[in-house]
Amino acid sequence: MMDILKRNNVRMFGDGDQVMLLAHGFGCDQHVWRHLIKAYQEKYTLVVFDFVGSGQSDLSAYDSSRYSSLEGYAADVLDIIEALNLRNVIFVGHSVSSMIGVRAAINKPEYFSKLIFVAPSPYYINEDDYVGGLNKDDLEALFVMMESNYLGWSSSMAPLIMGNADMPELGEELTVSFCANDPDIAREFARVTFFSDSRADLHKLNVPSFTLQCREDMLAPLHIGHYIQQHTANNTLVILNATGHCPHLSAARETIEAIDSYLDFDKVLTDAKLQSPGTIVTE
């Protein structure tokens, strides 16, 4: 157990009866959840961690074979749950971690009560009538840049991914986070993130889920939120007024209020709207 907790730099806050497990996305670490920790630590037991290769995780535990697919990262999530003997978990995943959570919940649905997806995407590449947001050739060109100049790639891409040019400090924060990661591991995680196709997994998920979609997001266009809802049983979609790919940082209040509304699901169905601005789709 201690090896797993050290490997993923697991930390816990609060002492509520219900557990909320927070999983960061590519290029980030557990620090991105600071606003949710502050909002929920009096009500829930919060578990945060760093994926191997990110943050303060144990870099010596990185194995290219294990982490060559999302299954390796999903296995880490299950390892943490089992090491802490957690059950009835509310899983909150940002970006690629949403699909990591899906795979974990398919493998061990009895561990989870709900999944919350923040700016998720099951597949980032445009294909036929599916709008993933990125063309494969453009994505390959980005990887060529990553190979030749990872720091330059991070400095140019992080602010675009964050969006919200009126809050440049957030783009700077994401840039610092990207640059802090081991370049070789980051490139491998990026390739797994952007080339994994999790669309077929959506049909296999039986745990109730909630999609938080930003109205503008270069990595997850509006089509994605509706696609997830249409192809996932018992999924609720909320379209936020927030923009960019990290609403838990750029629009923390709206994000938290949306999550509150979902967790109080009877109220959502009764009101058919959020307390914060946004559009809820419950069909």
Catalytic residue numbers read: 95, 217, 245
**Is residue 270 pLDDT above 70, yes or no?**
no
Q: Of 273, 211, 270, 264, which Cα lies nearest the Cα of 43?
A: 264
The string of pLDDT tens digits covering residues 133-151 is 999 998 898 889 888 888 8
* Selected residue with higher pLDDT from 277 and 203: 203
**Is residue 46 pLDDT above 90, yes or no?**
yes
Domains assigned to the chain:
2-123+197-281 (3.40.50.1820)
**Is residue 278 pLDDT above 80, yes or no?**
no
Is-above-0.85 flag for pTM?
yes
The string of pLDDT tens digits covering residues 164-209 is 888 999 999 899 988 888 889 999 999 999 999 999 999 999 999 9
Average confidence (pLDDT) over 76-91: 97
**Is residue 283 pLDDT above 60, yes or no?**
no
Residue 8's pLDDT band, with cuts at 50, 70 and 90, is very high
Average confidence (pLDDT) over 93-105: 98
Average confidence (pLDDT) over 3-19: 95
The string of pLDDT tens digits covering residues 207-258 is 999 999 999 999 999 999 999 999 999 999 999 999 999 999 999 999 999 9
Region of residue 27 (left: phi > 0; alpha: psi -120 to 50; beta: else): left
